[in-house]
A = this chain, B = another copy of it.
Amino acid sequence: MKTLQDYIDKLNSLNFKEMYNNDFFLTWEKTDDELEAVFTIADALRFMRENNISTKVFESGLGISLFRDNSTRTRFSFASACNLLGLEVQDLDEGKSQVAHGETVRETANMISFMADVIGIRDDMYIGKGNAYMHEVSDAVKQGNADGILEQRPTLVNLQCDIDHPTQAMADALHLIHEFGGVENLKGKKVAMTWAYSPSYGKPLSVPQGIIGLMTRFGMDVVLAHPEGYDVMPEVEEVAKANAEKSGGSFTKVNSMAEAFKDADIVYPKSWAPFAAMEKRTNLYGEGDTEGIKALEKELLAQNAEHKDWCCTEELMKTTKDGKALYLHCLPADINDVSCKDGEVEASVFDRYRTPLYKEASYKPYIIAAMIFLSKFENPQEILKKLEERAGKRIFE
């Protein structure tokens, strides 16, 4: 696309009215048009930034970030997205705050939201908890707005939960769209979402789940590969199956990395913890059984160690489509002899794909900004047009 009008025309062909004043929890809760709208706005915002057109649509307002797990990328992506639109980020650090002091979610959600236009939450540690918590927060501020307590309804953006990692999966997808020259070209492509060995334990399931839940939307042949016992949530597999049927693609499961890589156009080798184990950990955590958690961790690390052969090697890469499938990763990756002895990928493979990997990550701030934009404006096309007419410069000139 060459002009802003091209993006606007694209948007005019889509129906996304339900996104207005709404949240973004899971990609499979959104229609194809709605996802397309997110991609289009993300590209439009990037286009404007590249052309030094200010996309500041908020003169004031807060973007609240609530992270229950360490994060560099997602934290900075959210901060970047907010900043791009004019929102100031305010972290709700549960250490500093009184959330720790037995305060109800409903109350805190309202107390921090008097001037909040968006709330971004990362809560991926415990099965059955993260997404539920986000809904609790969203319901609370929706009610607060209805009751006249909050003058606006803060949009909730899921920055990674126990079920999905929508901002990651959407950024990955936008990367593919650009690499393959359009979403239509993804049809029939083979994607290998495969488990890979990592010396660490308990990596979230939300990435593989997000990928199979989203990539099956585009008529791709999605293969989920993992050693026995490393299953993801069954309900997400159901989503993937249904998506594939609808989109004319396919969703298959194998227990061999080699089989998954064979003739793949795209590979996504990544460690995650077995769903069952994560569920068990959640229960142990609930019971405050730290000994049990330690034992489980030990057990899982031993189980992991049996699968060190699950690594993205040059040899395996050779077996992919023309020997040059596109390698994806949400980063940081466990790289052999770099971040660890044995890991998810060989250094030479990773190095060869560094630039595309970084590009992949670069879409996330725009994806998040697009989700906010679509929730805040009933007619985003008109807003984009007016921003172009306003012709404010991001950097003064």
User: Which of A's residues lie within 8 Å of B, judged by CB?
Assistant: 46, 49-50, 54-62, 67, 70-73, 75-77, 79-80, 83-86, 88-90, 92, 96-104, 107-108, 110-112, 114-115, 117, 144, 147-151, 331-332, 338-340, 355, 358-359, 361-362, 364-365, 376, 383, 386-387, 392-397
Contact, CB under 8 Å: B147 / A358: yes
When all copies of this chain in the complex are counted, the total is 3
Given the interface pairs A76-B114, A80-B62, the reply to whether A332 lies near B107 with Cβ below 8 Å is: yes
Known: A76-B112, A80-B114, A150-B362. A395 touches B58 (CB 8 A): yes
- The 15 listed contacts between A and B (C-beta, < 8 Å) are A46-B151, A54-B59, A59-B392, A60-B85, A72-B92, A72-B98, A75-B97, A76-B90, A76-B111, A83-B88, A84-B115, A88-B88, A104-B339, A117-B395, A387-B396
CB-CB < 8 A to A394: which residues of B? 58-61
When distances are taken between beta carbons in the complex, the residues of chain B under 8 Å from A62 are 76, 79-80, 83
Q: Using Cβ atoms and an 8 Å threshold, which residues of chain B touch A80?
A: 62, 114-115
Interface pair B61/A111, CB less than 8 Å apart:
no
Q: How far is the CA of A60 from the CA of B394 in the complex (A)?
A: 6
- A147 contacts B392, CB within 8 Å? no
The interface residues of chain A, by DSSP majority, are classed as mixed
Chain B positions within 8 Å of A117 at CB level:
395
Do A60 and B86 have beta carbons less than 8 Å apart? yes
Do B72 and A108 touch (CB < 8 A)? yes
The listed residue (B60, B144, B365) touching A54 by CB distance below 8 A is B60
**Bound Cα distance from A303 to B56, whole angstroms:** 56
One of B60, B111, B332, B359 near A84 (C-beta < 8 A)? B60
